[in-house]
Amino acid sequence: MGTTLGTTTGVTVGVIGGGQLARMMIPAAVNLGIDIRVLAEQPGMSAELAASAVGDYHDLDTVAAFADTVDVITFDHEHVPQEILRALVARGVAVHPGPDALLYAQDKLLMRQRLTELGLPVPDWARVENPDELDAFLAEHGGRAVVKTARGGYDGKGVRVVAHKHEADDWFQALAEDANGGALLVEELVDFRRELAQVVARRPSGDIRSWPVVETVQRDGVCAEVVAPAPHSSGRLAEVAEQIARRVAEGIGVTGVLAVELFETTDDRLLINELAMRPHNSGHWSIDGSVTSQFEQHLRAVLDLPLGDTATREPWSIMVNVLGGPAQGSMSDRYAGAFAAHPSVKVHNYNKAPRPGRKIGHVTAVGADLDEVAYQARATAAFFQD
Ligand SMILES: Nc1ncnc2c1ncn2[C@@H]1O[C@H](COP(=O)(O)OP(=O)(O)OP(=O)(O)O)[C@@H](O)[C@H]1O
Ligand SMILES: [Mg+2]
């Protein structure tokens, strides 16, 4: 008889989804001696090293069998269908964030509606079912607007600036063919100075902790860079951003990490763009730049443990995404050059195959001099993409 390996004690967290967010929860779990298991969509995913099951998260039997092996279920993404989430809750599984909260990260129309009910600041918006309704919105908003699919968008897919009522016809057509019917979200084209994100974490028992508000820079609809804290964020701006995120977390009953994407308008208002209820790209800097990373905090929060200190370790942290990656080979082929040139920069490799535009890793630099930190982070990321 062999020896039994892997004797862990205590709690087990189950993560649905095998992407890089699940992957980055693993070291945090290991450090705390928390057993972490992942239900991956397929073999060979980013979080493979903790994958204990591979299967379809749309299938209740698969998800329930996985849930039976853990103490709490959490997520790498927000796509698990409501019916599955509700069936888990009915079985007595602890699900964080719960379906009632997650709904507002799954459907942008419901999200806009709920935030409006809560009195929170959002762009002007409307639900539109056909080109004529879109036309009416365009007429009231200077002839240009942003149309979004309510569900399934990511990295700017499902977001389109339009100036004519027929520019969303393909999406209206797809809705007409969809048995569930539905509508599109249309919003004013916000005149923003920059985009910000406020990340917080909330325990089921209510306690909330927040990191400083950060600036996010998007290129081609994808987050390219994050600066923490957001430069030139006066005490007042930081306070308002934090208040908004707290009100969202409490109003919607979010548990775990919540990221609130914000627009800072040219007339100095903060408007909510969208919500993510899981660790978020705008919080990756916290692994190297904060006393408690968003991944550790998410685990603490979903286990309803006291939350960690969110103070910054250095005045500035800059995270740069590795988008696409090397034209040939993998990120690690470039380690020798990158590590020799930038020994203080932390490199995070998601072990994903390079593909144009795909997020395959990120780098973070921290320090006291913003220009130097930005140079270090950008120059390091440049080693990994052609
Ligand atoms: N109402 C708006 N006015 C101006 N720009 C907008 C508006 N809505 C979205 N954008 C731009 O499009 C980007 C993507 O929009 P959004 O965040 O809704 O899409 P997504 O694909 O769900 O997001 P993600 O890239 O975060 O997964 C925003 O970061 C912003 O740059
Ligand atoms: Mg977004």
For residue 141, how far is the Cα from the chain centroid? 30
Atom of ligand 1 nearest to the CA of 155: 25
Tokens read off for 185: 């979200």
Pocket test for ligand 1, best of 79, 107, 273, 278 (most atoms within 8 A of CB): 273
Tell me which residue of 46, 342, 362, 76 sits closest to 222, measured CA to CA: 362
Identify which ligand lies nearest to the alpha carbon of 153. 1
CA-CA distance, 285 to 44, in Å (whole number)?
Answer: 25
pLDDT tens per residue across all 386 residues of the chain: 466 555 555 899 999 999 999 999 999 999 999 999 999 999 999 999 999 999 999 999 999 999 999 999 999 999 999 999 999 999 999 999 999 999 999 999 999 999 999 999 999 999 999 999 999 999 999 999 999 999 987 777 899 999 999 999 999 999 888 766 789 999 999 999 999 999 999 999 999 999 999 999 999 889 999 999 999 987 899 999 999 999 999 999 999 999 999 999 999 999 999 999 999 999 999 999 999 999 999 999 999 999 999 999 999 999 999 999 999 999 999 999 999 999 999 999 999 999 999 999 999 999 999 999 999 999 999 999 99
How close is the Cα of 220 to the center of ligand 2, in Å? 12
In this structure, the residues whose C-beta lies within 6 A of any atom of ligand 1 are: 123, 146, 148, 153-159, 187, 189-190, 195, 218, 221, 261, 273-274
Cβ(237)–Cβ(253) below 8 Å: no
Backbone angles phi, psi at 183, to 5 degrees: -150, 170
Backbone angles phi, psi at 366, to 5 degrees: -130, 155
Exposed e or buried b per residue across 134-170, where buried means at least 16 C-beta atoms within 10 angstroms of its C-beta: beebbeebeeebbbbbbbeeebeebbbebeebebbee
Tell me which residue of 355, 354, 342, 352 sits closest to 381, measured CA to CA: 342
Torsion of CA 322, 331, 74, 27, to 10 degrees: -120
CA-CA distance, 217 to 171, in Å (whole number)?
Answer: 27
CA-CA distance, 278 to 219, in Å (whole number)?
Answer: 22
How close is the Cα of 156 to the center of ligand 2, in Å? 7
How close is the Cα of 194 to the center of ligand 2, in Å? 13
What's the whole-model pTM score? Answer: 0.95
Atom of ligand 1 nearest to the CA of 157: 21
Pocket test for ligand 1, best of 124, 138, 159, 277 (most atoms within 8 A of CB): 159
Q: Which residues contact 378 (CB under 8 A, 6 or more apart)?
A: 225, 318, 320
